[in-house]
Amino acid sequence: MKVYTSRGEVPVNEKWNLEDIYSDLTKWENDLQVVEEMAAKLKGFDGAIQDGKSLYEYLKQREELSYKFNHVYAYSMLRVDEDTRDANSQSLLERAKGLSVKVSASTSFFMPFLLGLEKETLNSYMLEEKGLKYFEEDLFESFRYKDHVLTKDQEEVLSQLGEALSAPSTTFGMINNADIKFGEITNDNNEKVQLTRGMYSKLIEDEDREKRREAYKAYYKPYVELKNSIASTLSAAIKNNVTLARIRKYPSALEKGLFGDMVPKEVYENLITATKENIAPLHRYSELRKQKLQLDELRQYDMSVPLVQGVKQVIPYEEAYETMMKALAPLGEEYITILREFKDARYIDVRETPGKRSGAYNLGIYGVHPFILLNHQDDLDSLFTLAHECGHGVHSKLSSQHQPQITARYSIFVAEVASTVNEVLLINYLLEHEGNSDVRKHLLNHFIDQFKGTFFTQVMFAEFEKITHKLAEKGTPLNVEIFNQTYEALFREYNGDVVVFDDEVKFGWSRIPHFYRPFYVYKYATGFAAAIHLATKILEGDNETLQAYLNFLRSGSCDYPLELLKKTGVDLTTPVPIENAMKKFGELVEEFSSL
């Protein structure tokens, strides 16, 4: 595989085309200016909205501002991500961030104003001004929060406390990203070197068990040493969340977390209960792992090593793209045409180059098209990442085409459905077209491990959040001991008795940044389960499900997430989708076992 030493070496057709947003910098500068003027104008509406006409005028101008501002911000962000070292791009992004502060300040008066209105007053405005029909759902959606919004003065105090309340998360981020120093490991030249995260993700999959053990111990070393500091930041984050839920009159912190997506707490509880009732195949997989690795004891540092060695495939980008299109053919001609356009019209930035942002993402820009960032490595993981991000990309494209700006963006709750459906169709295609039994085993192992990480691990995290928030609500002090006990008990329950515990296992809670964004991880698991259900039906040739799924991709956020999924035949208020996903996992483990 070619290693690129600069962006200039990458073929043009493998770089995204940012001229689709702005053909030159003058146009960006011009829009930046225009947004600034529009923000100043919006500020003038504070205290001046007296009737339907002025309310409509404000909302219309705010939407126009939002459209332009998104273009300004996205362009500067994408420029920086091409090369994070480039000072010119950094300066554009800094200016866009400064503009973002002005935009927020100019519209901050509106929510308290709106929630201060009586419903009758808002209804009379609606009758008075026909243009408000377009904003109606949004306006009345805001009213759902009325019981949880405080007086203007109290809201002002809370907003000023914002930075203090986010301090636990900021502190953990600093510890985890800036200050943490991992232990030492022995490199190939028999020298002691300090472990990095990048090295760890490779070493924990190494065939040499002693290397895995050494990396595991070195990785956990700082977390164990800093256990009291990290426990105090996590404890404070949980207590802050519980206190805010109380202040805002939510029945519990969990229900506060689910309120925005209008998800009843039964969905969260169903997910945990149905997973635990069907956990046997996961325990069976741990047994298989122990047998396959021929170990007397299976430990946590044995959980990530691939079980099939010597089958590393080289899959060049062109071939990966063709394979993906063949695998996704069951989604129909329109879907495949869009994918072809992604490649031909340069929506994708493919190659890893010095300074480029790591990882992968999709960014949909309303009025332009999606942009996809990859760091393609010509391997199996990169093929799956390509299919995953293109799932998000097509979702963005179809929602933007079929929805007005106000409902074009989809919620995080449904986002992972589109990406995971693609991954399930891809693994199915690869298994169907692979004759080599070692490669088949490798593919199955890859998908089982992914299923485990995206589903079971996230459900375990979700249960940890639920338990620790409940303890805080009862006034139980949260400390290292409580976190260790809770995490260890859950780890045992989910992974089975076959795993022999090193002391580090119980400190797993101390390294998870998602715990500082409470009640979020469960969405990975529900999205994954919904995708498994839909992909299975589509592969069975169920045309009704296929059409419903394509409509779902066109729907943006025109309804609440659970309702959008119900229209595809997935009802997450029942345990059925979770049970189906568990059944699928059981089948994968059985097939792997028989091979």
Annotated catalytic residues are: 389
CA-CA distances (angstroms) from residue 289 to 282, 303, 368?
11, 8, 47
**Packing angle of the helix pair 576-594, 522-539 (nearest 10 deg):** 70
DSSP secondary structure letters along 382-417:
HHHHHHHHHHHHHHHHHHHHHS-GGG-SPPHHHHHH
Q: Residue 549: which residues within 8 A CB-CB, separation 6 or more?
A: 331, 421, 534, 538, 568
361 DSSP 8-state letter: E
Dihedral sign from CA coordinates of 495, 499, 503, 504: negative
Distance CA 488, CA 483 (A): 8
| Count of helix runs (H) and strand runs (E) in the chain | 26, 5
- Which residue, 341, 339, 314, is CA-closest to 327? 339
DSSP state at residue 187: -
Helices (H), 293-368: 317-327, 333-344
CA angle 48, 51, 53 (to 5 degrees): 95
Adjacent-strand bridge partners of 370: 364
Q: In this structure, how many other beta carbons lie within 10 angstroms of the beta carbon of residue 59?
A: 21
What are the residues whose beta carbons fall under 8 Å from the beta carbon of 588, sequence distance 6 or more?
A: 444, 447, 448, 451
Q: What are phi and psi of 518, to 5 degrees?
A: -60, 150
Q: Cα dist. 46→101, 292, 353, 525 in Å?
A: 17, 68, 47, 42
DSSP state of 216: H
Output the CA angle 104-108-113, nearest 5 degrees.
155
| 191's tokens | 């020298």
d(CA 214, CA 300) in angstroms, rounded, equals 12
Element (H, E) at 446: helix 437-451
In whole angstroms, how large is the CA radius of gyration of the chain? 25
CA distances in angstroms from 496 to 245, 300, 304, 464, 578, listed in the order given: 35, 12, 16, 17, 20
Estimate the share of the chain in helix, then strand, then coil, as percent rounded to the nearest 5: 70, 5, 25
